[in-house]
Amino acid sequence: MWVNHPARLADAAYKPVQLVTAHRCGLAVPDSVITNDADTVRAFAASGKTITKILGANTILEDGVRKVCFTRVIGDTDLADLQGIHVTTHFFQRWVPKAYEARMIVIGDHITTAAIRAGAAEGYIDWRADYEGLSYDLVDPPTDVLAGVRELMRALGLRYGALNFVITPDGEWTFLEVNAGGQYGWIEDATGAPLTEQLADLLAKGTP
């Protein structure tokens, strides 16, 4: 028995599909470009603060050492030297001003959302870079965001997902991604939300 069908996991893992589908479902998404052309990158970055992130898994094993690639802001030094960018595809997005971020856990019909607030600069760009400096509290997303998320999950054929959002100082929720096998344990520990119980209930009842 599975919660998400394996074929849906494979389809949903592709970030461009996620972003296009989320937009169609009424969720705000950042302006994005996927390219291996240096001129395209510079033109995109000229329009505003830009970040780069990994399209696939953000870890690699190099010389027996596990290394993690976090989201980072593109600076003038990066733009001046884009040597080698033509070798493979790269993912760039417009920086979204943030008051805080949120991790939303969807388990069947249940949606639980935790605000993630960075306590130091290390976690402000990418909270995964500074777990020790984070604080959490449960929040209630706007109803239109919840409706968009439910539609997104239906469109992707998922019953479980861990979704990431940026919340701007004006209160706008911007969708970043959905991880169909994303972790939730540390959110449960920090907030007391009964996520494991919800997942067990979903498995016990079976999925359509």
The pLDDT-based confidence of 60 (bands split at 50, 70, 90) is confident
Query: In the prediction, which pLDDT does 208 show?
Result: 58
| Mean pLDDT, the chain, whole residue set | 92
Cβ count within 10 A of residue 85: 16
Whole-prediction pTM value? 0.91
**Domain 31-95 annotated CATH 3.30.1490:** yes
CATH of domain 1-29+96-208: 3.30.470.20
**How far, in Å, are 35, 119, 159, 178, 192 from residue 107 at the CA level?**
34, 29, 6, 13, 16
Q: Can you give the residue ranges of every domain in the chain? A: 1-29+96-208, 31-95
Backbone angles phi, psi at 192, to 5 degrees: 80, 5
Over residues 129-184, the pLDDT tens digits come to 889 999 999 999 999 999 999 999 999 999 999 999 999 999 999 999 999 999 99
1-29+96-208 and 31-95: same fold? no
